[in-house]
Structure 1
Amino acid sequence: MEKWTPRHEAPEPLEGPVVPTIVGGTILWFVLFLAQLPFYGWFDDHGHLWWLWTCLAGGGLGLIGIWYVRKRDAAIKRDAATRNAPASQG
């Protein structure tokens, strides 16, 4: 089992513009859903209706993702503000 043990520390996670990335992806899923909606009959006739519902599910999950990453971003900023604030004297 020793050969599978990592020999170095894991790198720090990459941080970037997470909220705009999730918002952009969510918008893309909804745009794809709306672009395919006029072809509902064709998708149904050819057994590809799941493409339409996949895009809608991606948009719905993206909305949950937006809520999650906004809360996470706010918590990170709150934590950074409390770490940088001087200790109150009482």
Structure 2
Amino acid sequence: MLSPRMTNPTPVIAAGIGLWIAATVVVLLAGDRWAYALHTCWAGIGVGTAGFVVFLVQRAASRRGDKTAQRGLD
């Protein structure tokens, strides 16, 4: 059995969103050279944030014991 620290996905998800933010800053600072990648960076931030919110809502529902919540998201 792995420790809860090793199975907690929150730091990994937050780091992924942070990397998308860093990539967005780099693309913005690069100017027109990487302008085509800006939409991808914004999409990465948006999808990552939306996924993180869904994960947090599902984990809260699982902790409350809701019948429709995913299991194992302690």
So what's the TM-score if we normalise by structure 1? 0.49
Pick aligned residue for 1:26 from 3, 20, 24 = 20
Give the aligned partner of residue 67 of structure 1. Answer: 50
Unaligned stretches of 5+ in structure 2?
1-5, 67-74
**Higher radius of gyration, 1 or 2:** 1
Equivalenced residue count is: 60
Q: Which whole-Å CA distance do the structure 1 matches of 2:16 and 2:62 have between them?
A: 22
- The structure where helix makes up a greater share of residues is 2
Which fold has the larger relative contact order, with Cα–Cα distance below 8 Å and residues 6 or more apart in sequence?
Answer: 1
2:8 aligned residue: 15
Contact 1:26 / 1:63 at 8 angstroms: preserved in 2? no
1:58 maps onto 2:52 in alignment: no
Any unmatched runs of 5+ in structure 1? 1-12, 44-50, 84-90
TM-score by length of 2: 0.57
The structural deviation recorded for 1:18 is 4.1
Moved over 4 A (4+): none
Q: Is the 8 A contact 1:29 1:56 kept in 2?
A: no
